[in-house]
Amino acid sequence: MSTRRERRERARKIKRRICLALGLAAVICLAMVLIPRLSADPQAMATPIDQAAETPEVTPQAQEGPSLEVTPGPGEGEGQDTEAAQGDAEETEPAADDQGEAEDTEKEEQTEPAPAQPEPAPVPKPLEGLIIGIDPGHQDHPNYEKEAVAPGSSEMKMKVSGGTAGVSTRIPEYVVVLDVGMQLKARLEALGAQVVMTRESHDVDISNQERAKICNDAGCHLVLRLHCNGAEDKSVNGISLFIRATGEGAEEAFEAAKALLPAMLEETGARDFRIHKSDTYTGLNWSVPPSILVEMGFMSNPEEDQKLCDPGYQALLVEGMVKGIAQYFERDLTGADPSEAEETVDVPPLDTENYVE
Kindly state the smallest distance separating residue 287's Cβ from Zn ion, in Å: 16
Which of these ranges, 129-137, 276-284, 310-318, 321-329, lies near Zn ion under the rule CB under 5 A? Answer: 129-137
Which among 240, 195, 236, 233 is positioned nearest to 214, based on CA atoms?
Answer: 195
Q: Which is nearer to Zn ion, 133 or 163 (CB)?
A: 163
Q: Which is nearer to Zn ion, 163 or 297 (CB)?
A: 163
Q: Which is nearer to Zn ion, 133 or 137 (CB)?
A: 137
297 binds Zn ion (CB under 5 A): no
Q: What are the start-end ranges of the E strands in the chain?
A: 131-136, 143-148, 156-160, 194-197, 222-229, 239-243, 272-277, 291-298
The three-state secondary structure class of 85 is helix
d(CA 133, CA 300): 27
User: β-pairing, 272-277 with 239-243?
Assistant: parallel
Q: Which is nearer to Zn ion, 211 or 221 (CB)?
A: 211
Which among 132, 135, 191, 173 is positioned nearest to 343, based on CA atoms?
Answer: 191
Kindly state the smallest distance separating residue 227's Cβ from Zn ion, in Å: 3
Kindly state the smallest distance separating residue 163's Cβ from Zn ion, in Å: 4
Kindly state the smallest distance separating residue 132's Cβ from Zn ion, in Å: 19
The gap between the terminal CA atoms of the chain, to the nearest Å, is 146
d(CA 138, CA 172): 10
163 binds Zn ion (CB under 5 A): yes
Which of these ranges, 92-100, 132-140, 147-155, 298-306, lies near Zn ion under the rule CB under 5 A? Answer: 132-140
229 DSSP assignment? E
Kindly state the smallest distance separating residue 211's Cβ from Zn ion, in Å: 12
d(CA 343, CA 276): 34
Q: Which is nearer to Zn ion, 182 or 190 (CB)?
A: 182
Q: Which is nearer to Zn ion, 72 or 137 (CB)?
A: 137
Kindly state the smallest distance separating residue 134's Cβ from Zn ion, in Å: 14
How many residues sit in the footprint of Zn ion (CB under 5 A)? Answer: 3
Q: Are 327 and 263 in contact (CB under 8 A)?
A: yes
137 binds Zn ion (CB under 5 A): yes
Q: Are 189 and 165 in contact (CB under 8 A)?
A: no
Count CB neighbours of 351 within 10 A: 13
d(CA 108, CA 96): 13
Q: Which is nearer to Zn ion, 227 or 331 (CB)?
A: 227
Q: Are 229 and 164 in contact (CB under 8 A)?
A: yes
206 DSSP assignment? -
Kindly state the smallest distance separating residue 172's Cβ from Zn ion, in Å: 10
Which of these ranges, 25-33, 160-168, 188-196, 306-314, lies near Zn ion under the rule CB under 5 A? Answer: 160-168
Partner residues linked to 277 by β-bridges: 243
Q: Which is nearer to Zn ion, 98 or 233 (CB)?
A: 233
Of residues 11 through 40, those in contact with Zn ion by CB under 5 A are none
166 binds Zn ion (CB under 5 A): no
Residue nearest to Zn ion (CB): 227
Of residues 208 through 247, those in contact with Zn ion by CB under 5 A are 227
Residues of the shown chain interacting with Zn ion in the complex, contacts defined by CB under 5 A: 137, 163, 227
